[in-house]
Structures are given as C-alpha cells and as structure tokens.
Amino acid sequence: MSEEVLQQATPGLIPGSGTARAAKPTRLSPSFISWLQAGPMMLVFLAFFLIPLVFVVIVSFWDYNEYQLLPAFSGRGYTDTFEGCLAQLPDLCTIGKTYLKTLKLCFMVWAITLFIGFWVAYFLAFHVKSKTWQMGLSLLCTIPFWTSNVIRMIAWIPLLGRNGLVNSGLMKTGLINHPVEWLLFSEFSVVLALVHLFTFFMVVPIFNSMVRIDKSLIEAAYDAGATGFQTLVNVIIPLAKPGIVIGSIFVITIVMGDFITIGVMGGQQIAAAGKIIETRVNALQFPAAAANAVILLAITFLIITMMSRIVDIKKEL
Amino acid sequence: MTETTRTKGVSRRTLLKGTAGLAGLAAGSGAITGFPYVKSADAKVLRYLGTAVNEGDDIAKQCLKDTGIKIEYITATTDDVTKRVMTQPNSFDVLDTEYFSLKKLVPSGNILALDAKKIKQFDNITPVFTKGETPGGKKIGGQGTAPWKVLYLEGKDSKKFATSPTEFVTLIPTVYNADTLGIRPDLIKRPISTWAELLNPEFKGKASILNIPSIGIMDAAMVVEASGKYKYADKGNMTKEEIDLTMKVMTEAKKAGQFRAFWKDFNESVNLMASGETVIQSMWSPAVTKVRSMGIACTFQPLKEGYRSWASGFCVSKGVSGAKLEWAYEFVNWFLSGYAGAYLNRQGYYSAVLSTAKAHMEPYEWAYWMEGKPAEKDIKAPDGSLLEKAGAVRDGGSYEDRMGAVACWNAVMDENDYMVRKWNEFIAA
C-alpha cells in the first residue's frame, strides 16, 4: 500500500529511471560523481558564504555618508580604521590596541581551553574503558549546550559581582576584608566565561583523534620501555595533533570574532575586533564595518594558515 | 504496475489542471463580479516599528477596542530601528523614533511626513516641541538636535528642515523626558548636585556611563562642562577638537579605573545599580523606577547644570498610502487623545498633548507626576504595581521644573563619523 502511495506521488520518475539505468555507468565518470556528491554543500557554501563575502569585500571599498552607501571606489573605510597609526608611533593606535587586546584574550583562552580540553579528552579516551561510558560521558559534556550561550555567560555575573556569591563567601571566611573587584568586568571574567563556553569545542576533536589511536602503539611504547611521559610526548600528542589543530581553529575563530561575551563580561570596557564592527554597523557606516570585517578575516586567516603549516590537516585526516 | 501508475499519473495531472482552472475561475469571477474580497473583512492592521518605550500591550489593546486598528509591534533598539528604516523601509507602516535620528532618516527619503491639518490635537501639542518653551513660558535649552529644529519640512517631499512652521511635520510628538544621573543615596550618603560628580575619584570603580555613542557623548559633555574644563558653543554639535578634548577627559578617567562598566540597554543599567556594582551612572527614568520597585533606594538626581533630554514621535513609511495612510492618521489621532498619554505619564515619561492625558488621569496622579506635589495616595504603575507610597515627591519636581531645566538634547552631530571613531578609541583605551 505504502509503495503504491509512493509511486502515485512520483509518477513520472519510475519509467524515466528505468530507461536511464542502462546507460548510467558509461556516462558518469567517477570524478563527476564526486562533484555531484560535494555539489550540494558547495552550492550552500557558495550562496551563503562566498557570495556574501565577495559583497562584504566590495562594500568595504565603497564610500558612505550619514544615511547611505555611495557605490564609488573609496579606501576611506580602511584609512579611517588605521587613522593616526603612523602619527602616534611608537604608541599603538586604536586598531593596534584593539587587535593586541583581542589577540591576548584569544591566546589566553586558547591555551587554557587546550590544556583543559586535552586532559578531558585524554581521560575519556584512555581511562574510560567501556565504549558505553565513553559515549555517556561525552554526551554529559554537551549538557551545558542545552541552554543558550548568553544565559551561561550571564549566570557568572551574580557569582562574581561585588556583592556576589564568591565575594560574600570569601568575606565570611575572613580571607578578605574588602570585596575583590577584579572578579567581574575584567579580563579575568572575560577569559573565564570564554573558557567555560568553548572548552567543549576543544574536547570533541581531540577526543575524536585520540580514540582512533591504535592501542597497540601505546603497548609497543610501553614494551620498549618508554615512561608514561615519553609515551605522551612521543606517541599520543603527535597522533592527536589533527584534533588539537581543529579544536584550536574552532576556539580561535570564535574568540577572534566575539564581541558579546567580551562586551557583557568586560562591562563594555574592553575593546574587541568584533566590537568595532558592531559600533560601525550601528552608526550605519557599513563600508567601514565591512573594511573592519575584511581586516579581521585576514588576520584570522593568517593565524589559521600558520597553524595548518604546523600540521597538514588534509594529510592527517 | 508501471502502466497503472502512468494512468494514475495522467489522471492526477488532469485533476491538478482542473483544480487550478477552478481556482483561477473563482479568483477571476471574484474580481469581475465584485464578490466581497476576503481581506477586507480582516481587522485594520498597522505594523508599528519602534523601541520598547511606547510599545505597551495595554496601549495596543485599548487602541483595538477604540478604533478597530490592530497594532503589530516590531520592537528594536534605537540603532536597529534606524538601520531598519534605511535598509527595509517596506517592513513597517508606522515608525516611532527619536528626533535626533531624523538627520539620517529624512535625507534617505524612506519616511513620509504627516500633514499637521489632519492631526486633530496638533494645536494642543505642548510648546516644548513647537516653540522650545514650557507651557509656563520657561525657555528650554536647545543644544543638540532639539525637536523644534527638525519638526517641519519645507514641502511634502522636501528633504530640508523648515525654519518656520509648515503643515508637513517630520514626527508627530508622542513621548519625551529629561534624563539625568541615577544615584544610590543609601551608598553615597551625601547630596549630589552636579554632573561633575560622575568623575569624582570618590566613586572610583563605582561609576558608569552608557555606551551608545550619540547619547553617551552628551552625558560626557555635561560632565566636562560641569567640571569647568571647557565650555562648548554647542554640545550637540562639537568640532573635532571638542570631540578630542571630551574623549580625552573620559579616557583619562577610564584609565584611572573610574568606571565599573558601561551599559547598553535598560536592564543592564538596572542590574548595575540594583546590585551595587555602581552607585552613580547615566540612567533613564523608568530604570530608576524599576530599581526602586525592587525595594532599593535609587534617586533620579536633579543636577544644577540641567537635564539631557530626548523626544520621539510618529511618522509613516514611504510605502504607506491610501486606506493604510488613513488608518495611520486615525491611530496617531487616537494616540494623542489621552489614554496613551496618561499611560506614558504614569511611567514617568511625558505625553505630547497634556490636556487630553490629564483628562485620563486621576487628579492625585496628575498632581504627583506633573505638578511635583506629594502623593496623596499610593502611586501605582500602569500594571497596578506599587511605585511610591503616599507622601512621596517625584525626583526633580514638576513638569515645569524638569522640562524647564533641560540643557541639551540627544544629537547626531555633523562630525558624527569622527565621533564614532573616537568613541571606539575610548572603549579600546
């Protein structure tokens, strides 16, 4: 019955495919088939990523006034962005300071998420023996993702505030006399929130690489007399490298473009590359915003290129 | 099997053709014989784009009851409202926006001025908008984008602001207020009387300013002027040097750790104040009310240099015409007829037509909110929650006292682009 319904729904297809079936193997080359397989994703990429990106680059070279884009070639978006960079030397200009700050935050978050992520993945891959437990525990890691990013971030505020849980706890135990101010609206709170939000993006790819390491390699290292540390450095880390690099790319690209977490946890007082773009967009200065987006993209791309120099992901996968 | 499918396929196709034909016939006949068009039975709907300030559910409900017009709110932040008018002018019908954004909106040609002759209460609109003075005759400070500078256009499709009244009104006024610093009197424990206190080292790490450049710069200017560092020719239209100087003062304070945080939306300002993270900051009137309704002492402190004011009003999208335009006039007329005005006054804002709003308020409410008299009875918010106990007096006093002490208005400057860059620099410092 259900078969009949199906055929009713696609009446034209069946006879048509019957005639094509014989000719197919000769007509389609293997490369064409792989293009066909990659095609849908490629089209999605083209429509929702590459074409918009081309527009962003084009708009970044337009001029603008208070209320509209002027489609005439102009480098104003860029020159305004780097305003005063030469005059202020050796001091850094706004864009220089902003990127330095963003890179600093990015590096701290990357280092901490890598450290935590690596050991969580290590534990899951090598210390948890049963597959069921491995699955169960890694699913457990995803539970925080059931609530929104923003909520998980904002939840820190009542904890870290001047009269927050941490401060009042420390005051009661007599460890401090005055509330600690740097807990909230500081680089500390920004890094804390970002680490909390994004460590999982490190765990998953590293774990994925680690479980694929052939256990006999580790046994061989052990048999050859390697210490635990030597095995880690010479066997596990090199083999987990693709996971480390992929996780790092996730974390770095997210943190480089972030402005919401940095804004909320930094009390809007900490500059970020994404924040500049937001302010420009809000002031309806789209070409300037686009120019900043292109600069951010270029810098992020540079970092990723350097990382893929260290590990050839294509080969490793 | 194949054959049965084929016949079925054919019959299905004919069936489809048949239905399409019937549908076409139905549609056609409808058009020809003038059968009642289904849509006309629908409620009159207006899409209302604005910030959350005016967009009360009660207003929409009452409007539907009185006029049969269904209001669909599209709520966005001030910046996003402007962005939407620029990029998607057909996505709304009625626009509720601030006067300072007119310098961007009018030249874009995406909004339509309204005809003053069709606004019944136009002549009763408070002279704050039309003459720049209070009903009692006090002259109001006009620095920045004061509404009377941008109220009229030279012609229907003109992009020029007229210097004398014409019948083409850019925005029909709805709501406005005088803003100042909010403080926590229980934590400061001494009187505050000047904007300069925002940068007083006494409040190091406990002050805040809002991070919306076109409003924040005005607060910053009030502070700079109050501290005697500089006197502006026009705070609302600074030169590049003046912008540099203002941002330098603010940057030094920021580097010295004066500010706990900057805030961007209403709730952030409430949380900062309520949690005691800040004790003195730029604030909006209903935010102060909200902190107070949480049982926390908070004062909307009148200061000797005066208030920074803002105002918003209605216009329509350029895509609105015909019956829809008539509904828009009907809606604006209804808005000025009293219910909405009373609703806004009860939140601590001010309504554009005072006489109609007064008729919709209890005398004791009017005395508290507008005349600065001690409350005879408990003062309640529009939703019925308790705002003030009997005996309380409104911060800053009466309408005359508050609006009469306005020093400047939110502004879009000629050097706006430069200012935004400098503001970014301030955040990055």
Report whether pLDDT(B15) > 80.
no
Nearest-CA residue of chain B relative to A6? Answer: B5
Q: Chain B closest CA to A242's CA: distance in Å?
A: 35
B100 found inside a domain: yes
Residue A25's pLDDT is 53
At B77, is the pLDDT very low, low, confident or very high (cuts 50, 70, 90)? Answer: confident
Chain A contacts of B3, Cβ < 8 Å?
A: none
Residue A15 and residue B107: Cβ atoms within 8 Å? Answer: no
* Residue-number span of the structural domain to which B75 is assigned: 41-170+311-336
B52 and B190 in a single domain? The answer is no
Q: Chain A closest CA to B103's CA: distance in Å?
A: 8
- Write out pLDDT tens, residues B86-130: 889 999 999 999 999 998 899 989 999 999 999 999 999 999 999
d(CA B190, CA B382): 32
Output helix, strand, coil percentages for chain B, rounded to the nearest 5: 45, 20, 35
The average pLDDT across A141-168 equals 87
B105 found inside a domain: yes
Task: Tell me what percent of the residues of chain A surpass a pLDDT of 90.
Answer: 48
Query: What SS3 class is residue A162?
Result: coil
How many C-beta neighbours within 10 Å does residue A126 have?
Answer: 15
- Write out pLDDT tens, residues A39-56: 999 999 999 999 999 999
Residue B13's pLDDT is 45
What tokens appear for B136 in the block? 């009692």
d(CA B285, CA B315): 25
B298 and B199 in a single domain? The answer is yes
CATH of the domain at B182: 3.40.190.10
The average pLDDT across B283-305 equals 90
Lowest mean pLDDT among A139-148, A204-213, B338-347: A139-148
d(CA B96, CA B315): 7
Question: Chain B: which residues have CB within 8 Å of chain A?
Answer: 1-2, 5-6, 8-9, 12, 79-80, 82-83, 86, 103-105, 107-108, 205, 211, 213, 254, 259-264, 271, 275-277, 412, 416-417, 420-421, 423-425, 427-429
Q: What DSSP character marks residue B35? A: P
Among candidates B107, B95, B91, B74, which has minimal Cα distance to B412?
Answer: B107
B105 and B153 in a single domain? The answer is yes
Contact A9, B4 (CB under 8 A): no
B280 and B160 in a single domain? The answer is no
SS3 per residue for B47-70: EEEECCCCCCHHHHHHHHHHHCEE
Average pLDDT value for chain B: 87
Query: What SS3 class is residue A73?
Result: strand
Q: What DSSP character marks residue B206? A: S
- Helix pair A187-211, A94-122: axis angle to 10 deg: 40
Q: Chain A closest CA to B330's CA: distance in Å?
A: 30
B300 and B419 in a single domain? The answer is yes
Report whether pLDDT(B37) > 70.
no
Report whether pLDDT(A66) > 80.
no
Compare A317 and B305 and report the one with higher pLDDT: B305
Chains A, B: CB contacts within 8 A come to 105
Residue type, B323: A
B366 found inside a domain: no
B8 found inside a domain: no
| Torsional sign, CA B85, B87, B89, B94 | negative
Task: Tell me what percent of the residues of chain A surpass a pLDDT of 70.
Answer: 91
- Write out pLDDT tens, residues B359-415: 999 999 999 999 999 999 999 888 788 888 899 999 999 999 999 999 999 998 999
What tokens appear for A147 in the block? 């609530």
d(CA B221, CA B73): 34
Phi then psi for residue A176, to 5 deg, are: -135, 155
B71 found inside a domain: yes
B158 and B199 in a single domain? The answer is no
- Helix pair A286-310, A237-257: axis angle to 10 deg: 170
Compare A2 and B238 and report the one with higher pLDDT: B238
Task: Give, rounded to a whole angstrom, the gap between the first and last alpha carbons of chain A.
Answer: 45
> What is the pTM for the complete model shown?
0.80
The average pLDDT across B226-241 equals 93
B276 and B417 in a single domain? The answer is yes
Among candidates B318, B315, B362, which has minimal Cα distance to B96?
Answer: B315
- Omega of the bond leading into B107 within 30 degrees of 0 (cis): no
Residue A237's pLDDT is 92
What tokens appear for B402 in the block? 């508050």
Lowest mean pLDDT among B36-40, B211-215, B226-230, B339-343: B36-40
Residue B343's pLDDT is 92
B212 and B161 in a single domain? The answer is no
Report whether pLDDT(A9) > 60.
no
Residues with Cβ within 8 Å of residue B131, at least 6 apart in sequence: B148
Phi then psi for residue B165, to 5 deg, are: -60, 135
Burial string for B7-45 (b: 16+ CB within 10 Å, else e) reads: eebeeeeeeeeeeeeeeeeeeeeeeeeeeeeeeeeeebe
B192 and B258 in a single domain? The answer is yes
- Write out pLDDT tens, residues A130-139: 889 988 888 8
Residue A91 contacts B where some CB pair is shorter than 8 Å: no
Chain B contacts of A67, Cβ < 8 Å?
A: 86, 104-105, 107-108
Residue A3's pLDDT is 42
B137 and B283 in a single domain? The answer is no
Domain coordinates in residue numbering, chain A: 14-76, 85-316
Chain B contacts of A11, Cβ < 8 Å?
A: 5-6, 8-9, 12
> From the list A11, A80, A275, which residue is nearest B427 (CB)?
A275
B160 and B62 in a single domain? The answer is yes
Residue A137 contacts B where some CB pair is shorter than 8 Å: no
Chain centroid to CA B313: how far?
A: 8
- Write out pLDDT tens, residues A10-40: 444 444 444 444 445 567 888 888 999 999 9
* DSSP H stretches of helix in chain A: 2-9, 13-20, 24-27, 30-45, 51-60, 76-81, 94-122, 131-142, 149-154, 156-160, 165-173, 187-211, 215-223, 228-231, 237-257, 260-265, 273-282, 286-310, 313-316
Residue A4's pLDDT is 44
Nearest-CA residue of chain A relative to B255? Answer: A269
Residue A162 contacts B where some CB pair is shorter than 8 Å: yes
Residue A279 and residue B5: Cβ atoms within 8 Å? Answer: no
B10 found inside a domain: no
Query: What SS3 class is residue A29?
Result: coil
Best mutation site among A3, A59, A66, A95 for testing chain B: the one with the most B CBs within 10 Å?
Answer: A66
What is the CATH code for A85-316? 1.10.3720.10
B351 found inside a domain: no
Residue A218 contacts B where some CB pair is shorter than 8 Å: no
B193 and B93 in a single domain? The answer is no
Contact A122, A204 (CB under 8 A): no
B33 found inside a domain: no
**Domains contained in chain B, number:** 2
The average pLDDT across A165-183 equals 89
Residue A316's pLDDT is 64
Among candidates B332, B312, B323, which has minimal Cα distance to B115?
Answer: B332
Residue A154's pLDDT is 86
Residue B42's pLDDT is 60
The average pLDDT across A269-280 equals 89
- Write out pLDDT tens, residues B138-175: 999 999 999 999 999 998 888 889 988 999 999 999 99
Report whether pLDDT(B26) > 70.
no
At A205, is the pLDDT very low, low, confident or very high (cuts 50, 70, 90)? Answer: very high
- Write out pLDDT tens, residues B250-274: 999 999 999 999 998 888 899 999 9
Report whether pLDDT(A8) > 60.
no
